[in-house]
Amino acid sequence: ANFALRGSELQNTAWILGLACYVGDETKIRLNSMAPPCKTSDLERILNLCIACILAFIFLAAIYFAVTSCLLQPGMRMLAYAETYTERYCFQAFTDYLIIFYTCLPMTLYITYEILHLFIGHQIESDNLMLFDGQKAKVRRTSVIEELGQVDFVFSDKTGTLTANEMRFASCCIGETVVGPFLPPHGSEMSS
């Protein structure tokens, strides 16, 4: 029972009997070579969702108004060439309404969002209080700036064996300033 890695050479024997395990997509190198996840902030995801919803609304509103204008067009049924004219008119009405409603899409929202990122990145780089070993902060990626300082998870190893398993935010230290205490005075209980 020996183990032979890929690229191993057979020496001092004429043949071996082997079984190939963990090949293809199950190999360690293949599992570790996945593309890194896209780094998008929560705000950017919400912004993209809002833009997608606005685009869907614009598309549906253009369809609705184009169909309505085709159905309510006076005198269309009396013309001999009404069928081909109606199709062409409805398509033109749809594109017209798309162009009209496109102005509801806030493209300046993305531009303002990116300019704000550049401005905040410049503020971080030029802040004299953000020094480590005499070197200022360097902003390499401005797309996740709004997530700085936000705590998503708090881990604790408190077992709760002798006391209630309850976590309370007591105080925090920002720079050299201690903020707190946030706990009620000893002896008084905080009502939930």
Distance of alpha carbon 102 from alpha carbon 62, whole angstroms: 10
Given a contact cutoff of 8 angstroms between Cβ atoms, the answer to whether 142 and 113 are in contact is: no
Distance of alpha carbon 55 from alpha carbon 48, whole angstroms: 11
Cβ-Cβ contacts under 8 Å for 55 (sequence gap 6 or more): 105
Q: Which amino acid is at 58?
A: I
Q: Is 157 noted as a catalytic residue in this protein?
A: yes
Given a contact cutoff of 8 angstroms between Cβ atoms, the answer to whether 130 and 137 are in contact is: yes
Q: Which amino acid is at 185?
A: P
Residues with catalytic roles: 157
